[in-house]
């Protein structure tokens, strides 16, 4: 927890402190080179990941194609293919397929955010200043991004199921097994159980308020994390989905 807080503080305040020091004419903050690299490392890593998602991965998913029909066919085919592979592919390919599908959705959402930021820059500055426009705003990916968010509601349960398969194979199941680690691989009953479990967790991670606690709605799913890895994965999924939903809502309302 302390590490997560430290990374969050570094990412949030490093650009502001550096910018304030430069505006004051003092240049970048004078700190030892090792400490400076450590201080900036989280924001640099996140910036590189964001660049890869918005430019490289989003392009592979078809975000640069002209016309919504082409984007739906290409991107939808990739995401649906990832879902099918996450459901039927043998380990460990099913796990990688689920991760690839989630990365594709996040990439489209980030590309959409970049496009809207470029559109705002163009309107505010009344033109395209050199270096200010990153990807342009020819495409409008709002609908594609929102549909991608909907796909996450199937991709994340498939990811959790694949994590369970991998940890079962390692001899330490991350979650309480629905039908045991030796149960049928393609049981629809087990898949529905994972969807129900994720739905219960989703009720707790919806932004603004935990309505399940207010109305005393209990997640009655037989699935529960039973190892530290399982609990950490559930925490990461809930936190990440909460941030993604909140950012998407703010972006959609702000357009």
Residue 66 has pLDDT above 70, yes or no: yes
Q: 105 and 149 in contact (C-beta within 8 Å)?
A: yes
Q: d(Cα 209, Cα 225) in Å, to the nearest integer?
A: 23
What pLDDT was estimated at residue 102? 94
Question: Which tens digit of pLDDT belongs to each residue from 121-131?
Answer: 877 776 666 66
Residue 81 has pLDDT above 90, yes or no: yes
Lowest-pLDDT choice from 6-20, 53-67, 184-198? 6-20
Query: How much is the pTM?
Result: 0.78
Residue 10 has pLDDT above 70, yes or no: no
In a domain, 232, yes or no: yes
What pLDDT was estimated at residue 216? 66
In a domain, 13, yes or no: no
Mean of the pLDDT values across residues 78-95? 90
The DSSP annotation for 151-184 comes to: HHHHHHHHHHHHHHHHHHHTT--SB--SS-TTS-
Question: Which tens digit of pLDDT belongs to each residue from 184-215?
Answer: 566 677 788 888 888 777 776 665 566 666 66
Residue 237 has pLDDT above 90, yes or no: no
Q: To the nearest whole number, what is the mean pLDDT of the chain?
A: 77
In a domain, 17, yes or no: no
SS3 225: strand
In a domain, 69, yes or no: yes
What pLDDT was estimated at residue 172? 84
Residues of the domain holding 114: 52-254
Q: d(Cα 125, Cα 121) in Å, to the nearest integer?
A: 6
In a domain, 18, yes or no: no
What pLDDT was estimated at residue 213? 66
In a domain, 47, yes or no: no
Per-residue tokens: 179:
């039908």
Q: Cα–Cα distances in Å, from 69 out to 24, 65, 66, 104, 233?
A: 51, 9, 9, 18, 35
In a domain, 188, yes or no: yes
> Total domain count for the chain?
1
With 0-12 CB in 10 A as exposed, 13-18 as middle and 19+ as buried, what is 78?
middle
In a domain, 169, yes or no: yes
């Amino acid at each position: 927890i302390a590490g997560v807080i430290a990374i969050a503080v570094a990412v949030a305040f490093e650009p502001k402190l550096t910018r304030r020091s430069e505006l004051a004419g003092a240049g970048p903050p004078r700190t030892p080179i090792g400490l400076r690299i450590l201080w900036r490392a989280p924001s640099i890593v996140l910036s590189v990941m964001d660049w890869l998602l918005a430019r490289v991965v989003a392009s592979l998913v078809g975000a640069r194609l002209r016309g919504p029909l082409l984007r739906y066919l290409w991107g939808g085919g990739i995401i649906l293919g990832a879902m099918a592979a996450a459901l039927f592919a043998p380990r460990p390919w099913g796990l990688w397929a689920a991760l690839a599908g989630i990365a594709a959705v996040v990439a489209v959402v980030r590309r959409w955010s970049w496009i809207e930021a470029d559109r705002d820059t163009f309107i505010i500055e009344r033109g395209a200043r050199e270096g200010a426009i990153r990807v342009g705003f020819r495409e409008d990916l709002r609908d594609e991004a929102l549909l991608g968010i909907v796909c996450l509601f199937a991709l994340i349960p498939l990811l959790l199921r694949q994590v369970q398969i991998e940890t079962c194979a390692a001899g330490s199941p991350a979650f309480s097994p629905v039908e045991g680690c030796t149960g049928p691989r393609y049981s629809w009953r087990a898949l529905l159980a994972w969807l129900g479990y994720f739905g219960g967790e989703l009720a707790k991670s919806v932004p603004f308020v935990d309505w399940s606690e207010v109305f005393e709605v209990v997640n009655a799913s037989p699935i529960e994390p039973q190892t530290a890895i399982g609990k950490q994965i559930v925490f990461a999924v809930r936190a990440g989905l909460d941030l993604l939903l909140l950012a998407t809502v703010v972006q959609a309302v702000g357009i």
